[in-house]
Chains A and B, each alone.
Chain A
Amino acid sequence: MRAALVTAPGRVTVETVADPSPAADGVVVQVRSCGICGTDLHLVDGELGTDRFPLVPGHEPWGEIVAVGRGAAGFAVGDLVAVDPSLHCGACDPCRRGRGNMCQRWGAIGATQPGAWAEFTAVPVANLHRLGDGFPLDAVPLAEPVACAVRGLRRLGPRPDEPAVIFGAGTMGLVLAILLDIQGVGPVTLVDTNPARRELAGRLTGAAVCGSAEAADLRAPWVIEATGNPAAFEAALACVDRAGTLLVFGVANPLTTAAIPPYRVYADELTIVGSMAILHSFPPAIATIRRHADRFAPLLTDAFGLEDIGPALSLVRSGRTIKTVITPAAGAPS
């Protein structure tokens, strides 16, 4: 099959590699589409380590099952599925406490195992989520990002009819804004430094938008940092109203730090929570996408065939896209 392979930091090539075969408790999925995520850029650039190269990235796939392992019950060739990329060992202390996203041997399809910027990808049965008859397929590529956002909002625990502020109008900022609105939390304000992204964000989510200067006057009990930028973290913390909560959702460079005024945390009883990837949040994400596909589908702004992975990555780096996906089946010989 054809697959996009990272062989060294910043170096991605499309090559012919061996077809994957299903594990005993797994299947092989023919990839209909797989998103490109901000984390993929860190991965491709080698920021998360180079010992994993060569690697096929891609952790947001959905597609059709084309092969089933000997012990893989409950799924059949032809089933359409979305894939939770999280690989939890199930044996360490956090896994045994039901906190698999804190797994001591945490891994993920497309991060530590071959992923889905490829025609086919191997997936354990435990990671499959069936898309039932009539499922609105146009929004399915957002299943994985929505599952991360559902986890984040569980950590935040916002109440309906109370204002929220999100720093960062990227894919995740927009997904979070839509999910907050779906839960009745609002008004929601999206903060971004880029005027073009603000315009698009307002149009696609219905949220209010503003630049970072105006954000200094905002106060809300529910604030989300979705940029990974330490300056945005500090601005977001300043926005948190008394007795409010800040969710740290964006992926920062591990080496950066930000300032926290301890007096405010004390005097205003502030809560700061983090959220890492997916935990028990894929099924509600699938239900939410099924219900609100019309709101999520417009976030899928760009699609590229597998051979065009280079231009696709350039577009994501430029910021002139919301969600870009790779559609390996589209360009593949049938």
Chain B
Amino acid sequence: MRVNTAVLFGAREPHRMVDVDVDEPRAGEVRVRMAASGVCHSCLYAIDGEHAAIPMPIILGDEGAGVVESVGPGVTTVAAGDHVVVSWAPGCGACRTCRQGLPALCQRQPPLGRMADGETRFHHAGAEVFHYGPATNAPFTVLTERAVVPVNKDMPLDLAALIGCAAATGVGAVRNTARMGMGESMAVVGCGGVGISALHAGALAGAYPVVAVDVEPTKFDALIRMGATHCVDAREPDARDRIRDLTGGGVDHAFVTTSAAAAFPLAVGVLAPRGTCVLIAGYPDGATVTFDPGHLLNGERRIIASKYGSSNPPVDFPDLVDLYLAGRLDLAAMVSKRWRPEQMDAAYDALRSGTATRGLIVFD
């Protein structure tokens, strides 16, 4: 089939709306008609040229939801017409980490921009167009069967898009990685889609206090509605002391959702003895972070990482859908703006500015 869609032909260039041929799904693959795609920070690395290895031209988008349009031979877990949330971490399904239920840590990732067989399913004027992960910014995308998780049809498909990355990552970091306990304190440094999901999950886990840390105080009222009990402006010179005071001397868990230079040192700096800094953010190529090793040692503070919220999508996505349907995960409040596919550059500009929580690209 041929669709008109936004394609990125090079870093630091605007998207171009062009015609793209989308292949039929091959064995073990599905083709999905996208309903919505989340505007995620990871795509900025391609747009801003911060990962040199990303091939061009490319279709972006790593969180989305839609309806299965057709399936290839041998597909058993989904059928045409199923509502699905897209996972950007299908994994190979066969390596050690995949079998442990951690597909985001798969040790046999397909070549960057291509399907596992080394080819693309998108072409423009006969030439390859690459996939940025699941490439959810196209109106139709081809995915391995393991990259789609069927969900309850009561779930609104536009909000379901957020489950595929922001919610899975933020909620998973709190539940799966940190395994936060009741009455433990937490801080979330960087309150976009992932950070808000972590605030929600902290509130659901019974954490107290739940401190939201951001550089955009205009978001603070909304963050209180989304689970935070206190907000701190990270740009204030005494931000670290304020967070420590709020949490009786230090936080048990500090989540870093942004690669902004000040975020990681702040998160480690506010930890209580035996507290844990959970690194969630992706960083540009070559980035380094700093921390005070004495502070780490003297309090046995810890730094751990959470990729995709240590999620196992077939298990965790339906849980997140149930949480939404039970009224306990306010995905709607997370959406700052809905965009048309042809407004893609404006959507990513808004994300880069830091004022947006989560944008959604909505298809017809």
Which residues of A approach B to under 8 Å, CB–CB? 150, 153-154, 159-161, 179, 182-184, 283-288, 290-292
Contact A182 B182, CB 8 Å, known A290-B208, A291-B229 = yes
Contact A160 B205 (CB under 8 A): yes
> In the docked arrangement, what's the CA distance between A184 and B200, Å?
11
Contact B182 A153 (CB under 8 A): yes
> In the docked arrangement, what's the CA distance between A291 and B228, Å?
11
Partner of B208, one of A159, A179, A183, A287: A287
Contact B175 A286 (CB under 8 A): no
Contact B183 A161 (CB under 8 A): no
Contact B323 A183 (CB under 8 A): no
Q: Which of A283, A287, A288 has the most CB atoms of chain B within a 10 A radius of its CB? A: A287
The answer to the question of B206 belonging to the interface, with a C-beta cut-off of 8 Å to chain A, is yes
> In the docked arrangement, what's the CA distance between A183 and B185, Å?
14
> In the docked arrangement, what's the CA distance between A161 and B329, Å?
13
Contact A286 B319 (CB under 8 A): no
Contact B184 A284 (CB under 8 A): yes
Partner of A288, one of B182, B229, B322, B328: B182
Partner of A161, one of B206, B229, B248, B322: B322
Chain B residues near A286 (CB-CB < 8 A): 183
Which residues of B approach A to under 8 Å, CB–CB? 175, 181-185, 204-206, 208-209, 229, 248, 319, 322-323, 328
Chain B residues near A154 (CB-CB < 8 A): 181
Chain A residues near B322 (CB-CB < 8 A): 161
Contact B204 A284 (CB under 8 A): no
> In the docked arrangement, what's the CA distance between A192 and B34, Å?
49
Partner of A284, one of B175, B182, B319, B328: B182
Contact A161 B319 (CB under 8 A): yes
Please provide the 4 A-B residue pairs with the shortest distance between their CB atoms, ordered closest to farther.
A284-B183, A287-B183, A182-B206, A291-B208
In the assembled complex, how far is the CB of residue B163 from the closest CB belonging to chain A, in whole angstroms? 14
In the assembled complex, how far is the CB of residue A74 from the closest CB belonging to chain B, in whole angstroms? 13
In the assembled complex, how far is the CB of residue A284 from the closest CB belonging to chain B, in whole angstroms? 3
Contact A291 B206, CB 8 Å, known A150-B182, A161-B322, A161-B323 = yes
Contact A288 B204, CB 8 Å, known A160-B175, A161-B323 = no
Contact A160 B183 (CB under 8 A): no
Contact residues of A: prevailing secondary structure? helix
Chain A residues near B183 (CB-CB < 8 A): 150, 283-288, 291
* 18 cross-chain CB contacts under 8 A: A150-B182, A160-B319, A161-B319, A161-B323, A183-B181, A183-B206, A184-B204, A184-B205, A184-B206, A184-B328, A283-B248, A284-B181, A284-B182, A284-B183, A286-B183, A287-B209, A288-B182, A290-B208
In the assembled complex, how far is the CB of residue A187 from the closest CB belonging to chain B, in whole angstroms? 10
> In the docked arrangement, what's the CA distance between A286 and B322, Å?
30
> In the docked arrangement, what's the CA distance between A287 and B323, Å?
24
> In the docked arrangement, what's the CA distance between A285 and B206, Å?
10
In the assembled complex, how far is the CB of residue B340 from the closest CB belonging to chain A, in whole angstroms? 35
Q: Which of B183, B204, B206, B229 has the most CB atoms of chain A within a 10 A radius of its CB? A: B183
> In the docked arrangement, what's the CA distance between A150 and B323, Å?
23
Q: Which residue of A lies closest to B318 (CB)?
A: A161
> In the docked arrangement, what's the CA distance between A291 and B229, Å?
9
In the assembled complex, how far is the CB of residue A177 from the closest CB belonging to chain B, in whole angstroms? 13
Chain B residues near A291 (CB-CB < 8 A): 183, 206, 208, 229
Chain A residues near B181 (CB-CB < 8 A): 154, 183, 284
Partner of B204, one of A150, A159, A160, A285: A160
Contact B184 A183 (CB under 8 A): no
In the assembled complex, how far is the CB of residue B199 from the closest CB belonging to chain A, in whole angstroms? 14
Q: Which residue of B lies closest to A282 (CB)?
A: B183
> In the docked arrangement, what's the CA distance between A285 and B181, Å?
11
> In the docked arrangement, what's the CA distance between A112 and B97, Å?
52
> In the docked arrangement, what's the CA distance between A183 and B175, Å?
10
> In the docked arrangement, what's the CA distance between A183 and B328, Å?
12
> In the docked arrangement, what's the CA distance between A38 and B125, Å?
79
Contact B205 A287 (CB under 8 A): no
In the assembled complex, how far is the CB of residue A206 from the closest CB belonging to chain B, in whole angstroms? 12
In the assembled complex, how far is the CB of residue B244 from the closest CB belonging to chain A, in whole angstroms? 15
> In the docked arrangement, what's the CA distance between A78 and B339, Å?
58
Chain A residues near B185 (CB-CB < 8 A): 287
Q: Which residue of A lies closest to B316 (CB)?
A: A161
Chain B residues near A290 (CB-CB < 8 A): 208
Chain B residues near A153 (CB-CB < 8 A): 182
Q: Which residue of B lies closest to A184 (CB)?
A: B204
Q: Which residue of B lies closest to A160 (CB)?
A: B175
Contact A179 B323, CB 8 Å, known A154-B181, A284-B181, A286-B183 = no
In the assembled complex, how far is the CB of residue B174 from the closest CB belonging to chain A, in whole angstroms? 9
In the assembled complex, how far is the CB of residue A318 from the closest CB belonging to chain B, in whole angstroms? 32
In the assembled complex, how far is the CB of residue A143 from the closest CB belonging to chain B, in whole angstroms? 11
Q: Which residue of B lies closest to A157 (CB)?
A: B179
Chain A residues near B328 (CB-CB < 8 A): 184
In the assembled complex, how far is the CB of residue B243 from the closest CB belonging to chain A, in whole angstroms? 15
What would 19 more interface pairs be, CB under 8 Å, given A183-B182, A288-B206?
A: A159-B175, A160-B175, A160-B205, A161-B319, A183-B204, A183-B206, A184-B175, A184-B323, A184-B328, A284-B182, A284-B183, A284-B184, A285-B183, A287-B183, A287-B184, A287-B185, A287-B209, A291-B206, A291-B229
> In the docked arrangement, what's the CA distance between A74 and B248, Å?
14
> In the docked arrangement, what's the CA distance between A184 and B176, Å?
13
Chain A residues near B323 (CB-CB < 8 A): 161, 184
> In the docked arrangement, what's the CA distance between A153 and B328, Å?
22
